[in-house]
Amino acid sequence: MARRLLGKKIGMAQVFVDDRAVGATVIETRPCTVVQIKTKDKDGYDALQLGYGEVKETKVSRPLAGHFKKAGVAPHRHLFEIRVDNVDAYKIGDAIGVGIFAEGEEVDVSGLSRGLGFQGVVKRYNFSGGPASHGSKFHRRPGSIGCHVEPGRVIKGKKMPGHMGNRRVTVRGLRVLKVDAERNLLILKGSTPGARGSLLELGKRHG
């Protein structure tokens, strides 16, 4: 059974679950196509290579175009591999869709968080900052970053201003509120990383 899929974050909505209003993320998961089947004999391990998303043929590099042609499938924007229990159950060109998820189960969602640029320490690490007024000149500064002659340096990993966001973030255990196979939609309770329209990786939780 396939455990992972890719999807596109459509945005957030508010729905009612058990008489309560909850924030929910709507994710579009078009079916993935099996592009290549990796086997123990040939590749050293069993896996499926899946393609996701449409892409114009002219936008694909020649080596990749050849790869898709060999499989006899249309070119896809993204390629990724998943492990399955039994690769023989699948054949090239098979489509794997939202059907692998069921209502009520929990999934992990990974994606690139929204890029926030160069941020200070208050926004980036939730430092409390100083007073805004009453003669204070210590507003949003990081404060002391170290000791004295001993150790005479700033310790590694010190939280300082810098680039924030645009990194891979995983949110674990989001409950599936609804699976809409017709429209290829997955509705999860809670929020996911990334901006609207960004690519998300969805994985079933083990156990």
Partner 1 sequence: MDDILRAVEQEYLKERDAFRPGDIVRIHERISEGAKERIQVFEGIVLKRSGGSTREMVIVRKISSGIGVEKTYPIHSPKIEKIELVKERGARQSRPYYLRDLRKIR
Interface residues toward partner 1, by CB under 8 A = 10-16, 19, 21, 24, 26, 28, 183, 185, 187, 196
185: closest CA among 173, 174, 177? 177
Nearer to partner 1, 9 or 124 (CB): 9
CB-based contacts of 103: which residues, under 8 Å, 6+ apart?
176, 177, 178, 179
Report the nearest approach of partner 1 to the CB of residue 137 (Å): 42
Cβ 122 vs Cβ 132: under 8 Å: no
Least CB distance to partner 1 at residue 7 (A): 12
Q: Which is nearer to partner 1, 10 or 92 (CB)?
A: 10
Closest distance of CB 9 from partner 1, Å: 11
In the complex, minimum distance from the CB of residue 30 to partner 1, in angstroms, rounded to a whole number: 13
Q: How far is CA 167 from CA 85, 114, 157, 194, in A?
A: 31, 8, 17, 9
H/E element, 4: strand 4-17
* CB-count burial class (<10 Å; 0-12, 13-18, 19+) for 81: middle
Shortest reach from residue 13's CB to partner 1, in Å: 5
Cβ proximity to partner 1: between 150 and 182 the closer is: 182
Per the CB < 8 A criterion, the answer to whether 79 and 33 are in contact is no
Which residue number, 57 or 180, has a Cβ lying nearer to partner 1?
A: 180
Q: Which residue lies nearer to partner 1 by CB, 63 or 104?
A: 104
